[in-house]
Amino acid sequence: MHGNPMPDSYVYVTEEGVTRHYADGSVEALAWEDVVEVRVVTEAGEDVLYILLDRGGEGCVVPRSATDATFLARLRYLPDFDLDRLTLAADSTRDGVVVVWRSPDPPSALPDLEYD
């Protein structure tokens, strides 16, 4: 067998939003206008995850390995988004979840989520 193994997911970033297609056929998608929070999840030996959430706590999980300059550039359009804060959280050697951005008009509470 030749070539690279099939990735477990694909991430597409557009002007409208971000979509992640999983190998099993499931899809997560979120429009940029619906994003109210951005979290960074770090765990030793695992890919860093960017979690984009909407008001209902639904969202899209984006592995750092699947991002490019387009994703990072689009995050900068979120009001007062701090790219340095995102980078600092993603480069952390500590395991955990860090909220790196929250909408100026966030919902009253977003749920704590479990990540695989």
Could you write out the DSSP letters of every residue in 35-92? --EEEEEE-TTS--EEEEE-TTS-EEEEEGGG--HHHHHHHTTSTT--HHHHHHHHT-
Domain ranges of the chain: 33-102
Quickly count: other Cβ atoms within 10 Å of residue 15's Cβ. 8
Model's pTM, two decimal places?
Answer: 0.83
CA 93-89-49 angle, 5° bins: 90
Angle at 42 between CA 39 and CA 43, to 5 degrees: 145
pLDDT (tens digit per residue) in 2-52 = 454 445 788 999 999 999 999 899 999 999 999 999 999 999 989 999 999
